[in-house]
Structure formats: C-alpha cells, structure tokens
Structure 1
Amino acid sequence: MPILLLGNKDIDLISGKRNITIRRLWKQPLYRGDRLFCYWNILSKEREKIFEAEVTKVKILPFKEIISNSELPHKLGYKNSKELEKDLKKSYPNNTKDNDEFQIFEFKKLHVTQWEGSAINQKNMIIKKADILFDMGEYEQSSLCYQAALEYDPDDANLLNRIGDNLSRLGQFGDAIKNYKKAIKLQPDNEYLYNNIALVYLNKGEPDNALKMSNEAFKINPKNTTILYWRGIIYEMLNDFEEALKYFDEVLELDDTDPDVWNERGTLLNMLGKSEEALISYDKSLELCLDDTKDSNTWASKGNTLLGLQRYDEAIECYDNALKIDDSNPIILNNKGVAYMELDDFQSAIECFTKVLVMYPNNPDAQVLQEVCLENL
C-alpha cells in the first residue's frame, strides 16, 4: 500500500490542477496500476487521508538527467530546472548524486466509492486545511483548497464567500467580487456578502461603489452591527463625518462593547472639532481593548487630542503608554517631542527626535524638529 504524503507545495496535486509528481525512488518502486493512499501532513502531528488514486504512468530517472531536462520542471510545477534542483536537494539532501534515482509518476484520483480504505468527508477535510492556510496568511494556497472543496459542491455559498475573502487579500479584487456575486445568487438575503463586496470597493479606493453595496446590505438587515460599522467607515472615507458618526452611535446603541467603534468615534469627533467628547470615546476604547496593538494606537490618538488641547503633560503620559507597546513608532516619538517643545523642554524633545533618527536616519520631521530644538538650547 504505497503512501503519498502531500504538503503545502503540493496544493496543485490536491486541487487537481496537476497529477504528476516526483519522489525519491522508494525501496518498493511504484508500478502502473498501483493504489496510492494520499495524505496531507500540513501539521507535523497531523496526517489525514485526502484521497486515493491509481498510478497511471511511472518513469525512473537519475538525478543528473532530471535536472538537465528542460521540459520536466514545468510539468512538475516548477519554474525552471534550477528551482527543481534546489527543491530536490532540500527535500533529499543525501540522495542527489548524479546516479541517485527518482521516480516521476502520474496518477488519477478515484471516486470515494472506489476507495479500498475507509472513506472520509473530503470536502470538510479540505475546508479544514484551507481554513488553517487562511489563518497562516497563505491566501493563494487557501484559495486553491477552497476551489478544490467547491468541486464537491459547486453551490456552496460559504465556500464562494471564503474564496472571495482570499482573493480580496491577494489584491485580486475583480475575481473576489465575481465569487461574492456567485454566492449572492445562491443566498440573495445574506447581508454579509453585500458587505464583503463593499469592503473590496473600499480596498480599491472606490467608496461610492462601496456605499452602493452597503445600501443593499442595510436593506436586508439595518440592525446588523457589522454592516452599521462599515457604513460608518464608508461615510468617513467620503468625508461625511456627521453621517459616519450617526452609524457608529447606532452600533453603540446595540452593542457598546467594541473598542474599535469607540476608537473610530473618537477620531470622528476630533475631525468635527469635538475634542473633549473624543477623549471620552478614547477612554472607553482603552477600557475595553484587549489587543496591545490597538491599545497603542488609541493611546497615541488620545495623546494627539490632548496635544491639540494644549494639555502637554497629559499628552506625554499618553505617548509614554503608547510607546510601552510600540517603542519604535516614529510618529509617536515625534509627537512626544513636539509636546516637550511646547513645554520649552528642548533637551527632552531632542532625546525623542534622536531616538527616531537612530532608527530612521532620513526621517524629515525628526531632522527639522531636532534642528529647531538645537537653535533654542
């Protein structure tokens, strides 16, 4: 019972895009007609059978001949002979002498009814792998896996949605929209699908088109906090701050526990010249926030608001809290330096700008501000 282990680089074999591969010659060579039990070991402790296959063609070649063959690398999914050679040497460091033999074989997948071993839910297993790849940020491979799962059920709107999510993160906005629209045909009352298209248009820098899609989502469910939040972001992108604030307030009426909403609300209030109210929103965001990265941004935003209100000591305290989390942020360090300048503490300001210039020697703000401080010492 030959076993074929597949990894991330074998996504084309799993998705069916390619049915030819290469392996070191096994102790028991493969022959035409052999049954393959194919497993995917994406995680070191995880091995699950994903399909069974029948070997249709086998060719045994020495390493020297393989790397000198100009056509073989493309058939095996490599760009060129150098890439194939590098991968083989990495995978088989002790088996790449000129005469070391490899087997190049083709196979055809067998329908689950033809399996000799126990059957599994292939679709669910592939989705599980795709989800793992998505969480790892491997969006292209994840998308291929979702496509493979889609072969088992072409009318799965959730899969189409996930494919759209991957393509959007890959910057393939047109294809992402196509998949979301296919999903909408299957689930026309799913507001999240319209919202996802709106997010694609936002990423494309087209807030007007984003609003059109958001309107469709809003018609379906005007009380969905996710839809309301992104409507606020869209109106903010359209510079309609009053309308944006209205939607953030609607979200908070339904659920006042999201720190992101409070933070965005604070930003809008600042833009509307309502700094004191903005400080209240930032404090609420900090109270609820459990993510250090977001925490840093909120502390910095609160510091900027206090800087604008000429409450310099309080601003510096906020910048210090932000820098505890993100100590190499040049914007925060520069703003902290400006607060010291307003207090006529030019020595402390210089220390801030010097830290920036050590990390970012060409930072223009730090260069100019440091020169101003030196002139005032």
Structure 2
Amino acid sequence: MGLFDGHKKKSLLKKGLNFERQGKYNEALECYDKILEKIDPGSANTWYNKGGVFYYLGRCKEALECYDKALELNPKLSTAWNNKGNVLNDLGRYKEALECYDKALELDPDYVFAWNNKGNPLEDMERYEEAIKCKNKALSLDPDFVVAWYSKAKILEKKQQYEEALKCLDKVVELDPKHDAAWNNKGVIYGILHDWEKALKCFDEDLKIDPNKFQSWYGKGLVYKNLNRYKEAFDCFDKALEINPDFEPAKESKKLLKAINRMP
C-alpha cells in the first residue's frame, strides 16, 4: 500500500466513523467497502468496524463474518473478541459468547466492557452468582459504569433481592438522573414491596423524562388500584392504552376494575 493509499484509507476510516456516529450506517459501510475492495483487504480494523455497523443494523450473521475475518487477520484484537461475544449472546449462543469474552480478557485482563458483557450470558443461563461477580469486577474497574450498575440490579431483581437491587438502581439515577428505565424499575420494585408512595414517585420521575412511557402509566394504575383509588387507576390504564392500544395487561386491569366497581 503506497503513501497515497495510506492517506486515502485514513480519510475513509475517519469518514466511516463519522457516519456511524450520525447513524448513517449504509454510508459508513460504503466507506469501509472502498477500503477493503480497493485499498487494503487485509485491514483488520476495517473488518472490525464493518462488523460493528452490521451489528447496529441487526445483521448478526454478517457481523460475525466480519469479526471472524478481523480476528483471522489479528487474533489479538480484544475488542473484536468482545464484540463477537455480543453477537453470539444476542443469538442465544451463550457458551460460545463466554469463550469470546474469556479470550478478550486473556488479552486484556482489565477490559471493563468484556467483564460487564461476560455477565450477560451467565445471567441468561441463570448462573446469577457468577454473573454478579462479573458485574462487580467491571464496577471495581469503573465505579461510575452505569450499564453495569443497572444490569446488576436486574440480576438482583431476578433473585428477589429487592433491597440490594434498589441500592444499585439508586446508584444508576445518582450517576444518570434521566435514566428512565431505572426509575421504572425502582417503581416496580417498590410496588412489589407495597411501598406505594415511593412507587408513585418513581413512576412520576420516569414520566417526567418520557411522558409516553406506557409501562409507567400502567405501573401508576396498579399502585392506585392497590390504594383503592379506582378513578385514578382507570385514568392511568386509559393513558397507557392511548399510547399502546395493544398492551394487554392494561386491558385486563381495566376489565378487573370494572368488575370490582360492579360489586356491591
């Protein structure tokens, strides 16, 4: 590859990355294909970038092919092992995903994203204690890693360790006050614990961030139902269905409320 080609490759890589940041994935693919077809077919980083674009587009088979090509060219590319693990995990190929994360961590023992991601297939395999250890390792490397705090909370919720899950969610909203999913999950857990006042507050915080979050309108409706505030419950279920007319839990809850109101 000549000097001119080197400059052109660098320019196309930069353009491709800029297109990715803008969500212009087809344009990014065109840049990477120009490099691989005309300048440097052996560029591991370009195959890696192309795999990332396919992953964002949900084209997992093609993403895997690109990551495999990148790793054939550079077996020590830890980020490609990590991202290949992500694709395999999304495909439900959990054992293979774990092997990829382990390979990434063998190359880079402090790779925080790989530690966090390794917990995901373990969670899906219901190996919760091992998954939590991975999340904890990620958080020891980066205590402000919001994704790890949130995913750890979800595992603890599955284990019905609600107080511990709430501590993790508190950390999430401390680091990212507009993390709508965390506010919703806090509301759900407080509802399970029958702390209706705190549940309402969390659902309201979520709806300040996203007024069209039908799950939180539904959650508010359930709280009001348990407080015997049926009119307000009806209104919340109606709002959830206005946003998502096919949301069956809200439909069923409305039917139940109607039956209750007919009772003497």
Shorter-chain TM-score category? 0.7 to 0.9
Distance 2:43 2:144 in 1: 37
Contact kept, 8 Å, 1:127 with 1:146, in 2: the verdict is yes
- Identify the structure with the greater helix proportion: 2
Q: Alignment length, in residue pairs?
A: 238
Query: Hey, which bits of structure 1, 4+ residues long, moved more than 6 A?
Result: none
Measured in 2, the distance between the counterparts of 1:147 and 1:50 equals: 18
In structure 2, the partner of 1:239 is 160
Identity %: 29
1:46 deviation in Å? 4.1
The separation in 2 between residues aligned to 1:164 and 1:314, in whole angstroms, is 46
- TM-score using structure 2 length: 0.81
Residues 329/175 of structure 1: CA separation in 2 closer, same or farther (3 Å cut): same
In structure 2, what is the Cα distance between the partners aligned to 1:147 and 1:337? Answer: 53
| 2:68 is the alignment partner of 1:147 | yes
Q: Does 1:299 align with 2:220?
A: no
Matched residue, 1:327: 245
Q: Distance in 2 between matches of 1:46 and 1:190?
A: 30
CA displacement at 1:301 relative to structure 2? 1.6
Which piece of structure 1 moves more, 131-140 or 330-339?
131-140
Match of 1:190 among 90, 108, 111: 111
Matches within 5 A, 1:258-273: 258-273=179-194
C-alpha contact (below 8 Å) 2:63/2:87 kept by paired residues: yes
Q: How has the CA–CA distance of structure 1 residues 304 and 128 changed in structure 2, closer, same or farther, with 3 Å as cutoff?
A: same
Cα distance in 2, alignment partners of residues 269 and 216 from structure 1 = 28
Distance in structure 2 (CA, Å) of the matches to 1:167 and 1:330: 32
Does the Cα contact within 8 Å between 1:50 and 1:126 map onto a contact in 2?
no
Q: C-alpha deviations, 1:22-51, integer Å up to 9, x for none?
A: xxxxxxxxxxxxxxxxxxxx9599483465
| Residue identity in the other structure for 2:246 | S
Which of 89, 93, 109 lines up with 1:172 in the alignment?
93
Correspondence for 1:314: 232
* TM-score normalised by structure 1 residue count: 0.58
Contact 1:140-1:170 at 8 Å conserved across structures: no
Aligned 8 A contact 1:269 1:277 in 2: yes
1:140, 1:167 within 8 Å by CA — same for their partners in 2? no
When you count strand as a share of all residues, which structure comes out higher? 1
122, 130, 135: which is aligned to 1:209? 130
AA aligned to 1:164 is G
Query: What's the RMSD between the two structures over aligned residues?
Result: 2.5
Query: Which letter maps to 2:60?
Result: Y
| C-alpha distance in 1 between matches for 2:188 and 2:79 | 34
CA contact under 8 A between 2:116 and 2:138: conserved in structure 1?
yes
CA distance in 2 between counterparts of 1:226 and 1:161 reads 16
Amino acid at match of 1:316: F
- Shift in Å at residue 276 of structure 1? 1.2
Partners of 1:225 and 1:43 lie apart in 2 by: 30
Q: In structure 2, what residue type is equivalent to 1:261? A: A
Q: Deviations over 1:100-135 (max 9, x none)?
A: xxxxxxxxxxxxxxxxx5447733443343223212
Is structure 2 residue 171 aligned with structure 1 residue 224? no
Q: Which amino acid aligns with 1:321?
A: K
CA shift digits 1:254-277 (9 cap, x unpaired)? 221110111111111111110111
SS of residue in 2 equivalent to 1:147? helix
Per the TM alignment, residue 225 of structure 1 is displaced from its structure 2 partner at its CA by 1.9
Which protein has the larger Cα radius of gyration, Structure 1 or Structure 2? 1
Partners of 1:152 and 1:330 lie apart in 2 by 50
Which one of 252, 258, 264 corresponds to residue 340 of structure 1? 258
Q: Which residue of 2 aligns with 1:255?
A: 176
**Whole-Å separation in 2 of the counterparts to 1:123 and 1:149:** 4
Secondary structure of 2:73 counterpart? coil
Residue type of the partner of 1:247? C
Q: Is contact 1:312–1:342 with CA below 8 Å preserved after alignment? A: no
AA matched with 2:201? I
Q: Which residue of 2 aligns with 1:38?
A: none
Q: Distance in 1 between matches of 2:241 and 2:133?
A: 40
DSSP-derived class of the 1:151 partner = helix
Structure-2 separation of matches of 1:119 and 1:192: 29
